[in-house]
């Protein structure tokens, strides 16, 4: 990687990214630095001639489009050479457990996923005429230090029994940072990349493995029928979506092989 990296939204993933760039020039933009994507009328940003953007900001809810990313790209002067956008595998919606690659149709089942699709399209429409390389990383659940759901395990929150649970898709935060670094490289072909560890064991399995490694009692498991009665409508709506994310393009084109392809190792490292 070379040039300046403008990181928009300094949250869990982007902080980890910035910590990994000791020898790079990184500019972080967030509310804490006086940069507000929820406000209209901001002046254009003055940026160097050679820079790339890593964008990690979620869309605002209850809108039909992602006004945050639209406000940002309107202020980028000059345009970056490359724009890397952290999206979600939720754009595929429920695929009935099938394996889905980047050519699968978008069929988002939730408002946030629909907004991600809108953001992807807005970004593509802006990047092409401005000669900006556009890279979209479609990301599943992110785990890592401080993101293992230990509080839920200790509270005894029930999960759907593993035999009835849907496949899981996830990635360790450090492997996602590796994907971001690779995507920002000028050698990486622009386009859409699914990212993940390639391990499809369920969220029920993951919670039980966290409990085992923490020395906590295993979370209770209930039937799918019982879950429909006991879980909130929101939680059940997420649990109904089922897919296996194909990450061959991440490995073969982006050139990233996850260090934590076995989430047992990722959990251990996170603890």
Map out the domains of the chain with their CATH numbers: 4-147+170-199+243-263 (3.40.50.720)
CA–CA separation, 39 vs 67, rounded Å? 10
Residues counted in the chain: 271
Query: Six-digit token pair at 155?
Result: 């509270």
Average pLDDT rounded to a whole number, residues 10-16? 92
The values of phi and psi at residue 17, to 5°, are -65, -50
* DSSP structure string for 18-41: HHT-TTSEEEEESGGGT--TTSSS
What's the whole-number average pLDDT of the chain? Answer: 93
DSSP string computed for 228-254? HHHS-HHHHHHHH---EE--HHIIIII
| Dihedral, CA of residue 207, residue 248, residue 131 and residue 33, to nearest 10 | 20
Other C-beta atoms within 10 Å of 239: how many?
A: 19
85: how many CB neighbours lie within 10 A of its CB?
Answer: 26
Q: Which residue in the block uniquely carries the two structure tokens 């300094």?
A: 10
Query: What would the two tokens of residue 135 be?
Result: 């890279």
d(CA 69, CA 222) in angstroms, rounded, equals 41
**Looking at residue 60, what is its pLDDT?**
87
Local structure of residue 57 (DSSP, 8 states)? P
| Among 181-185, 217-221, 237-241, 251-255, the least confident range | 237-241
- Residue 180 token pair: 């971001």
| 70-92 confidence digits (pLDDT tens) | 999 999 989 999 999 999 999 99
The fraction of the chain above a pLDDT of 70, given in percent, is: 97
Q: Evaluate if residue 144 carries a pLDDT over 80.
A: yes
Scanning the structure block, which residue is given the tokens 């622009």?
190
Q: Can you state the percent helix, strand and coil of the chain, rounding each to 5?
A: 40, 20, 40
* Helices and strands in the chain, H and E counts: 10, 14
pTM value is 0.95
């Amino acid at each position: 990687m070379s040039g300046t990296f403008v990181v928009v939204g300094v949250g869990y993933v982007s902080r980890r990214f910035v910590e990994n760039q000791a020898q790079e020039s990184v500019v972080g933009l967030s509310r804490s630095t006086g940069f507000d994507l929820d406000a209209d009328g901001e002046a254009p940003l003055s940026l160097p001639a050679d820079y790339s953007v890593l964008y990690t900001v979620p869309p605002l809810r209850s809108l039909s489009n992602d006004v945050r990313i639209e406000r940002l790209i309107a202020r980028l002067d000059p345009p970056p050479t490359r724009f890397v956008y952290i999206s979600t595998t939720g754009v595929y919606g429920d695929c009935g457990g099938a394996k889905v690659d980047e050519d699968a149709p978008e069929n988002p089942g939730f408002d946030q996923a629909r907004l991600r699709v809108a953001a992807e399209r807005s970004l593509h429409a802006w990047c092409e005429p401005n000669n900006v390389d556009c890279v979209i990383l479609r990301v599943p659940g992110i785990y890592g230090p401080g993101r293992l759901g230990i509080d839920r395990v200790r509270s005894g929150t029930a999960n759907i029994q593993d035999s009835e649970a849907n496949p899981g898709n996830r990635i360790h935060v450090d492997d996602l940072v590796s994907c971001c670094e690779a995507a920002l490289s000028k050698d990486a072909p622009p386009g859409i990349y699914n990212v993940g560890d390639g391990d499809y064991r369920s969220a029920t399995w993951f919670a039980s493995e966290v409990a085992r490694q923490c020395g906590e009692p295993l979370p209770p498991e209930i039937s799918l029928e019982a879950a429909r009665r006991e879980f909130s409508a929101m939680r059940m709506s997420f649990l109904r979506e089922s897919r296996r994310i194909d990450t061959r393009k991440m490995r073969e084109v982006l050139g990233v092989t996850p260090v934590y392809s076995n989430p047992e190792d990722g959990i251990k490292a996170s603890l």
